[in-house]
Amino acid sequence: MLIPGFRFAAAMAGIKKAGVWDLALMTADEPVAAAGVFTTNRVKAAPVLITRQRLRSGKAQAILVNAGNANACTGEQGLDAARETTGMAAELLRIPEGLVLPASTGVIGQPLPVAKIKAALPDLVANLSPGALPDVARAIMTTDTRPKTASFKGKIAGKEFTLAGMAKGAGMIHPDLATLLVFVFTDAAATPKVLKTLLRQALPVSFNRITVDGDTSTNDTILLMASGKAGNPAIAEAGPEMAALGEALNQVMGDLARQVVADGEGARHIFRVVVQGATSPKEALNAARTVALSPLVKTAMAGEDVNWGRIMAALGRSGARFDPERVEIAFGELAVVKDGLGLGPEAEAKAQQVIKSGIFNLNINLNAGNFSDYYDTCDYTEDYIRINASYRS
């Protein structure tokens, strides 16, 4: 997973427990076009505030990220901590501080351990290498059980290019314009404005269609950097080149988003709620999201119970307009509800096998209009509670 123009390094700084990676650095060989999208939560972490401001230039050269501490709800001290650590990284890299973007994930409300980070920085800079992206994907994990990476190779204007990235996230996942931490890199050349547009276009087919628990993080950040080493003329406007890069981004971000849901805290069943036949795009989305978020639907899936009554109840409170007596519900292709009525124990027994497969589509047709949308989600198991009741202890 090499992306020409970028280098990576991970380190054990002791922010989490000893002996695990928890700090990482990602650099471009020179200042490159960059864009980001951030959490809509009113409470924004210090690194989000600083990165958003530094990205106004459309240029960046490095990302300094830590896990184990969110540097959120830390006030002026938190902003200082992000500035001090990125300042030292800039000094070691011999680049302006404004080109280093901070990012953090972990516990909210505790001071960032600045001394530990500064102590680890010299080695981190010394160890930068083109092949270490997978190490960084591992270093940014918190309750994740596995690293999440994705990549795409294609051609733009006759030039081969690569687009690759990573994501972390398993809890506090209900992104609103972005998700916990996602870093994507490409060697294609494009202006910051094009990168920003493509990022926004990728959200409705990736991180804005997933939920684990309905809680939106204070640290959601997606960053995209383009080194231009592929050699194509910089993409500056709509056209086949921008479409090709957008397709690559949609694929990589969609893949990463599904990996985040599949690694949802405690998850054993992953499903996509597909709603068709809604009277408006907004109602299609609201209906899919309400079902995907319902604790009762999610616990039923944990119990492999074809409890379609809970799906009907969730649809009924979603705000979508429909006639209950026209609703159809199927697990995969196996129908359990037609004309709003259950098809009986035999149909449910077959549908249960679909749930048991562990990954499936929950297909709903409201038969009220022509609009459809979807939401990816996972079940609620006792492990979700266990993980989150003891997260800080």
Active site residues: 179
Structure letter (DSSP) for residue 233: P
User: Long-range contacts made by residues 112-116, C-beta under 8 angstroms, separation at least 24?
Assistant: 112/46, 112/66, 112/69, 112/71, 112/74, 112/78, 112/81, 112/82, 112/85, 113/13, 113/14, 113/15, 113/69, 114/81, 114/84, 114/85, 116/13, 116/14, 116/15
Q: How far is the CB of 303 from a copy of itself (least distance, A)?
A: 3
CB 314 within 8 A of CB 359: no
State both tokens at 236: 């500056």
Residue 240 main-chain phi, psi, to 5 deg: -60, -30
Please identify, using beta-carbon distances, which residue of 226 and 300 lies nearer to a copy of itself: 300
CB 197 within 8 A of CB 2: no
Q: How far is the CB of 327 from a copy of itself (least distance, A)?
A: 8
Please identify, using beta-carbon distances, which residue of 187 and 283 lies nearer to a copy of itself: 283
Structure letter (DSSP) for residue 340: T
Q: How far is the CB of 388 from a copy of itself (least distance, A)?
A: 4
Please identify, using beta-carbon distances, which residue of 333 and 339 lies nearer to a copy of itself: 339
CB atoms under 10 Å from CB of 202, counted, come to 26
Query: How far apart are alpha carbons 337 and 344 in whole angstroms?
Result: 9
Q: How far is the CB of 90 from a copy of itself (least distance, A)?
A: 27
CB 48 within 8 A of CB 221: yes
Q: How far is the CB of 250 from a copy of itself (least distance, A)?
A: 26
* Count of residues making up the chain: 393
Please identify, using beta-carbon distances, which residue of 73 and 205 lies nearer to a copy of itself: 73
Q: How far is the CB of 38 from a copy of itself (least distance, A)?
A: 12
Q: Which residues contact 311 (CB under 8 A, 6 or more apart)?
A: 291, 294, 297, 329, 362, 364
Helical residues (DSSP H) of the chain, grouped into ranges: 46-54, 75-93, 114-126, 133-139, 192-202, 240-262, 281-293, 295-302, 308-316, 345-356, 382-389
In the chain, what's the furthest Cα-to-Cα distance? 70
Query: How far apart are alpha carbons 364 and 289 in whole angstroms?
Result: 12
Task: Please list the residues that pair with 212 across neighbouring strands.
Answer: none
Q: How far is the CB of 350 from a copy of itself (least distance, A)?
A: 16
Please identify, using beta-carbon distances, which residue of 61 and 142 lies nearer to a copy of itself: 142
Binding residues for a copy of itself (CB under 8 A): 40-44, 70, 72-75, 107-110, 171-172, 176, 213-218, 293-296, 299-300, 302-303, 305, 307-310, 312-317, 320-322, 324-325, 337, 339-342, 380-382, 384-386, 388-393
> What's the first-to-final CA gap in the chain, in angstroms?
36
